[in-house]
Amino acid sequence: MIELSHIVKRFGTNTVLNDISVSLAEGSVTALVGPSGGGKSTLLRCVNLLEIPTAGTIRLGDDRLEFAEGRKVGWQAIQRLRRQTGMVFQNFQLFPHQTAIGNVMEGLVTVLKWPADRARARALELLEKVGMAHKADAWPATLSGGQQQRVAIARALAPSPRVLLCDEPTSALDPELAEEVVEVLSRLAREGTTMIMATHDLRLASRVADHVVFLDGGVVVESGPPRKIFSTPERERTKRFIASLS
């Protein structure tokens, strides 16, 4: 359903992603793990075109975008692909001047032009899903980090994206607050939400992911089921990384 083929991303002369190919089935969860600077965030940002790949192909459902140096990709094609993704950031990035429910409604009203009452009903449904309906009218600043992240997840899911992209969703949180976010993400995974998440939280990855991609130096070093990658990695680089975390 989602296929990244031969993705290359350069910043100037620095090649940050070097021929990455990953495909994921609908309803599956892929975890991107690996050392800082390995290219995880850049790869996620390439999937929703916050960064435009230097080369390669992205297929998402019926859309297929091909990138090459010197080739121009239309704004409409970018928007169409972007609308099929939802993004959750490490630092939540809620709109501070909007309540929890306002944050979830925002894109539905301003981008998708839904009437406010329909957007409100959808937002409430999603806040319920992440256990935040009781805080619908709260301001972000009054919420804990875990609560803010759960609202951010609801916001990302509001337009029913084909894929939810999560960049280190638990990294800014204390273990206890991380746990409530892990619980929400694992429930979404069980319900069949397609996700790609960058994380160095091995507990999150092993609980939620079907597939782990170990990324270092902009290349896929090794990939497979979490049990395999975390317990019996084949590559020296993967072994060292896993050992350094435990």
Residues that bind Mg ion (CB under 5 A): 40-41
Find the shortest distance in angstroms from Cβ 32 to Mg ion.
Answer: 9
- Of residues 37 and 61, the one with the C-beta less far from ligand ADP: 37
113 CB neighbour count, 10 Å cutoff = 8
- Of residues 42 and 149, the one with the C-beta less far from ligand ADP: 42
Question: What three-state secondary structure class fits 114?
Answer: coil
- 42 makes contact, choosing from ligand ADP, Mg ion, none, with CB < 5 to 8 Å by partner type, with ligand ADP
Residue 38 amino acid letter: G
N-term to C-term CA, the chain = 34
d(CA 239, CA 123): 43
Out of 16, 104, 204, 221, name the contact with ligand ADP by CB under 6 A: 16
- Of residues 38 and 140, the one with the C-beta less far from ligand ADP: 38
Chain residue whose CB lies nearest Mg ion: 41
d(CA 139, CA 155): 14
- Residue 95 lies near ligand ADP (rule: CB under 6 A): no
- 211 makes contact, choosing from Mg ion, ligand ADP, none, with CB < 5 to 8 Å by partner type, with none
12: DSSP letter: T
Q: φ and ψ at 159, to 5 degrees? A: -80, 20
Find the shortest distance in angstroms from Cβ 10 to ligand ADP.
Answer: 9
Asked if residues 154 and 126 have their Cβ atoms less than 8 Å apart, the reply is: yes
- Residue 169 lies near ligand ADP (rule: CB under 6 A): no
Q: Which residues bind ligand ADP (CB under 6 A)?
A: 11, 14, 16, 36-42, 198
